Amino acid sequence: MTSLPSLLSMMSQLIATPSISCSQASWDQSNKGVILLLENWLTGLGFQCEIMPLPGQPDKVNLIATIGEGAGGLVLSGHTDTVPYDEDRWQSDPFKLNERDNKLYGLGTCDMKGFFAIVIDTLKNMDLSKLEQPLIILATADEESSMDGARALVKEGRPKARYALIGEPTSLTPIHAHKGIMMEKVRITGQAGHSSNPALGSNALDAMHAVMSELMIYRNGLKQTYRDANFVIDYPTMNFGCIHGGDNPNRICGRCELEFDIRALPGMDNQSLYQEITALLPRIEQNTGTQIELHHLFPDVPSFSTQKESDIIKACERLTQKDAATVAFATEGPFLNQLGMETLILGPGSIDQAHQPNEFMALDQIAPMQHVIKGLVERYCLTPSTENEASRV
């Protein structure tokens, strides 16, 4: 038996090690401290650990920890970063694990440092000396801000395994699909001038009216074309989130900007949507004498979908006694699928507590999650792949 810290001790150490990622530089931190803790514990369990800095970002690192070998196997994956926090609204120190009312409070308890502690604690009590297929623990950087950690892994083409589980908080429900997210900005540059004579300028607000009309027609077309009954909102959405432009009623508006998001269904391609929207703009430019540009506000996240018939979905439905479902948030799932793994999202804690003050994981989430992890490791790593294939038929 390896001597590792207790589950609660691992969780408190992870929580006590800040690893905020944020597009605002004043909040953004390295995740190395968390990675080094995981590396230390996993090495103690016999894993080979590889720390991979993100290209051009030496303070941001992914960890690939591997034990066993073979073509199949299982990845257990999570992100090591957290969102920023609002100190005034926390009832306890967000970096100090605090147990009260059968809940563990702290920043990252459910989203999702607690998952790693549960994984390592489960593995500590298993015999990993007889693995037939590899078991890989993957810990990524910057999921909350840019998903650059997962994007870097796709570029590297690693890790490879047959199946993957991402332990995002889903209240222990297996998740087989989510929508994609794109966030875009339309910038219209016209020509300002005195309002008394429209010929003195090109009105960016007039042009924006035309852009919004076209986008609404386009949105309606998407809604008519695509449906997926797996989702509560069963069509792709486009939301106009904010608009800024102009300064005075007696001045022709010289510039206007609109920000919107699109949440596409599985099977839809973000790049195609972007190209189709771009193609709507030249005609409006011509008609209004303005310049119109479309920019990404953030790199897009593709939609995610794994066949409900996939063995790992079926296995997790049995282990949790819950049917696979969909969620309304994005994960690193599409990137792991791009790496060729059949991926599902399933983890302890609720997304309702994630990204909130007083984030917690309820204690009753821990044992069922350990049951899932043990079941998957037995099925995909402790069983020869041929038996596994046979049982899949």
Please identify every residue annotated as catalytic: 81, 143
Shortest distance (Å) from residue 83 CB to Zn ion: 8
Distance, CA of 27 to chain centre: 19
Q: Which is nearer to Zn ion, 107 or 182 (by Cβ)? A: 107
Binding mask 168-207 for Zn ion (x = CB under 5 A): x---------------------------------------
Q: Which is nearer to Zn ion, 70 or 357 (by Cβ)? A: 357
Distance between CA atoms of residues 89 and 98, nearest Å:
15
Q: Which is nearer to Zn ion, 159 or 169 (by Cβ)? A: 169
Tokens of 252: 């022709």
Shortest distance (Å) from residue 150 CB to Zn ion: 12
297 near 184, Cβ under 8 Å? yes
Q: Which is nearer to Zn ion, 254 or 302 (by Cβ)? A: 302
Q: Which is nearer to Zn ion, 306 or 331 (by Cβ)? A: 331
Q: Which residue has the tokens 């490791």?
A: 377
Shortest distance (Å) from residue 111 CB to Zn ion: 4
Query: Which residues does residue 104 pair with via DSSP β-bridges, in sequence order?
Result: 99, 361
Number of H helices, E strands in the chain: 10, 18
Name the residue with the smallest CB distance to Zn ion: 111
Indicate the SS3 state at residue 65: strand
Binding mask 133-172 for Zn ion (x = CB under 5 A): -----------------------------------x----
Cα Rg of the chain, angstroms = 24
**Cα 223 to Cα 232, 266, 310, 330, distances in angstroms:** 14, 14, 28, 20
Shortest distance (Å) from residue 40 CB to Zn ion: 23
- By rule CB under 5 A, what count of residues binds Zn ion? 3
Tokens of 377: 């490791």
Q: Please count the other Cβ atoms lying within 10 Å of the Cβ belonging to residue 228.
A: 18
Shortest distance (Å) from residue 181 CB to Zn ion: 14
Binding mask 76-115 for Zn ion (x = CB under 5 A): -----------------------------------xx---
Distance between CA atoms of residues 340 and 336, nearest Å:
7
Distance between CA atoms of residues 147 and 62, nearest Å:
11
Closest Cα to residue 54, out of 163, 124, 113, 142? 142
Tokens of 115: 């998952």
- Determine, following the binding rule CB under 5 A, whether residue 359 of this chain makes contact with Zn ion: no
Shortest distance (Å) from residue 273 CB to Zn ion: 25
Binding mask 234-263 for Zn ion (x = CB under 5 A): ------------------------------
Q: Which is nearer to Zn ion, 85 or 380 (by Cβ)? A: 85
Provide the pairing of β-strand 135-140 with 103-105. Answer: unpaired
Q: Give the interface with Zn ion as residue ranges (CB under 5 A).
A: 111-112, 168
